[in-house]
Amino acid sequence: MSAFPYALQEDDLPRLGLIVLQVDETIEDDFRHLFPPHVARLHVTRVSSGAELTPDSIAEMKRALPDAARLLPATQPLDVVGYACTSGTTLIGADRVRDLVTGAVQTRAVTDPLTAALAQCHSLGVARLGIVSPYIASVAEPIRAAFEAEGVTVPDTLSFGEQIEAKVARIAPRSIADAARALAQRSKLDAVFLSCTNLRTLDILAPLSRELGLPVLSSNQCLAAHMAALAEITPATVAAPLE
């Protein structure tokens, strides 16, 4: 049997890699919306993670991170790789995440939701940030400390006290919005951050920002914006943070 001739066709679209927790049911859908096929090539890999997010399960994920990164396409260097776990980055460390990823896959840049959120806070001049987290204190409190270590005061936080990821992915957006409202009502804030890539926040960001008169940021929105900036592309608009 003779081989049928074919032509090769390359494209110059930016190439994005996304490392998603095995149990995350939210961020991949969000990123497919924010980076449609005509904007970027989005390649997703999964990293092993426990059904519950705890300091111990995050330590296990750290060991699995290089293997997950190696599963991203290696035909040419990626423009940006995002590690999609806010709490994981906080406990592992953003620098360590970058080293683990760049040691396993060729990429021009690496980012994560914590680094991305800090970049957006600094860009917007946010000095006082309220944080909504789904997690137990041992996972949620280090996030607060990480922001304050970078000069962003966190005067108030709210947590749902959950650690089972299947439940986190199903927390109703209205409950998340109610938590953000409660923070804004009881504390003087410059912005609210909805922390966790598995929370369903995409559709509430813009209306909640308008209602509160504050920028309402999320892990997924911040990560997408930072990856887009690093790759010099424009993602689909999620929310226009108030200046």
Q: What is 132-158 written as a DSSP string?
A: EEEE-HHHHHHHHHHHHHTT-EEEEEE
The C-alpha atoms of residue 30 and residue 202 are separated, in whole angstroms, by 7
Same domain, 98 and 186: no
Give yes or no: residues 105 and 41 share one domain: yes
Rounded to an integer, what is the distance from CA 241 to the centroid of its chain? 17
**Band of the pLDDT at 236, cuts 50, 70, 90?**
low
My answer on whether 19 and 31 are in the same domain is yes
Average pLDDT, rounded, for the chain: 92
Residues 49 and 102 in one domain: yes
Verify that 20 and 91 share a domain, yes or no.
Answer: yes
* Residue 128: strand pairing partners: 153
Q: Is residue 89 part of a domain?
A: yes
Q: How would you classify residue 187: left for phi > 0, otherwise alpha for psi between -120 and 50, otherwise beta? A: beta
Element (H, E) at 43: strand 41-47
Domain boundaries, position 37: 15-112+224-231
Say whether both 118 and 214 belong to one domain: yes
* CATH of residue 37: 3.40.50.12500
On whether both 86 and 141 belong to a single domain, the answer is no
pLDDT digits (tens, 9 = 90+) for 211-232: 999 999 999 999 999 999 999 9
What tokens were used for 132?
A: 């909504």
Total residue count of the chain as it appears in this document: 243
**Residues 148, 108 within the same domain:** no
Q: How many folded domains does the chain comprise?
A: 2
The pTM (predicted TM-score) of the whole model is 0.93
Task: Quickly list H helices, 35-149.
Answer: 55-70, 86-92, 94-102, 113-124, 137-149
Same domain? 103 vs 168: no
Task: Say yes or no: 144 and 157 in one domain.
Answer: yes
Same domain assignment for residues 128 and 99: no
CATH of the domain at 123: 3.40.50.1860
Tokens found for residue 172: 């109703």
Nearest to 150 by CA among 185, 125, 195, 118: 118
pLDDT, one tens digit per residue, over 117-164 is 999 999 999 999 999 999 888 878 899 999 999 999 999 999 999 988
**Residue 7: inside a domain:** no
Q: Residue 50 — very low, low, confident or very high, per pLDDT cuts 50/70/90?
A: confident
**3-state secondary structure (DSSP) of residue 42:** strand
Percent with pLDDT over 90 in the chain: 79
Q: Helix/strand/coil (H, E, C) string of 165-221?
A: HHHHCCCCHHHHHHHHHHHHHHCCCCEEEECCCCCCCCCCHHHHHHHHCCCEEEHHH
Within a domain: 2: no
Contacting residues for 174 by C-beta, under 8 A, at least 6 apart: none
- Residue 8 is assigned to a structural domain of this protein: no
Cα–Cα distance for residue pair 58/64, rounded to 1 Å: 10
